[in-house]
Amino acid sequence: MVSTYPLALQPYLDGVKTIECNGRSMATTLFLENGYYLKIGPKGYLEKEAQFAKWFNANGLSAEVILFISEDKDYLLTRKAEGEVLTNCLDQPKELCRTLAIGLHRLQSLSVKDFPCLDKMDAYLQTAEVNYHKGCFDKSLLVPWIDFANADEAWQVFQANKHRLKRDVIVHGDYCLPNVLMKNGEFSGLIDLGQAGVGDRHIDLYWAIWSLWYNLGTDQYTDCFLDYYGRHLVDEELLRTIAAIETFV
């Protein structure tokens, strides 16, 4: 019922059909057929995402934030972004590769100086360290051509290379096909920005590669994506290091 929502949201919901379109997060996402998305999460869960979304919108990479309300729950209302998610374009794999690469370059060209979250890498690495010592080890998000026999092997790769990871670009944090938009064959923006921060380019590179493999069911487009992105910017050992870290995150 519309009356169960905060008063400021009710005009956007009254008489409007909604479609639930949830991803992997703890939030519920509703598409409002009058051209908005409403995300609802536990209190405090969407605060950073709202802040980040405003920053990305100001830099031309995401939709306008209309309202952020934190009461019993968090409510984030945004306009519908232009374009369609890349998971709707799987019949154009080379265009996916090109768009992913162009989007990453756009994202990584932004200045990190005024981004609202500068400590992503510290939290990211600390979480991996804590979870390793807790005995956590999950291989489910590894691409098939990167493997670790056990947690100790992944830990050794992590420890050997963590000092080489930089804090020099904006990272999306979940740079996968469902979070990248394309319009008329061109990159048009990003969604689901709650994991963004300043970090190492290989985080988003790894997830772009993983997402191509996962959604297309083949690794034959990895080279295509890396060619579009620029192989001179890719350190394969750091990609393997990010894979190792993700087994603990």
Q: Which positions are annotated as active-site residues?
A: 174
Helix ranges (H only) for 82-221 are 93-108, 120-134, 151-161, 201-216
Contacts of 189 (CB under 8 A, 6+ apart): 60, 61, 62, 63, 81, 82, 83, 181
- Which of 196, 219, 191 has the alpha carbon at shortest distance from 87? 191
In a 10 Å sphere around its CB, with 0-12 CB exposed, 13-18 middle and 19+ buried, how is residue 92 labelled? middle
HSE, side-chain direction, 13 A CA sphere, residue 148: 24
Q: Is 53 helix (H, G, I), strand (E, B) or coil?
A: helix
Contact present, 39 and 29 (Cβ < 8 Å): yes
Give the integer Cα–Cα distance in Å for 71 and 86. Answer: 33
Separation in Å, CA 88 to CA 52, 81, 85, 179: 25, 15, 6, 11
The burial of 143, by beta-carbon neighbours within 10 Å (0-12 exposed, 13-18 middle, 19 or more buried), is given as: middle
Q: Longest Cα pair distance anywhere in the chain, in angstroms?
A: 57
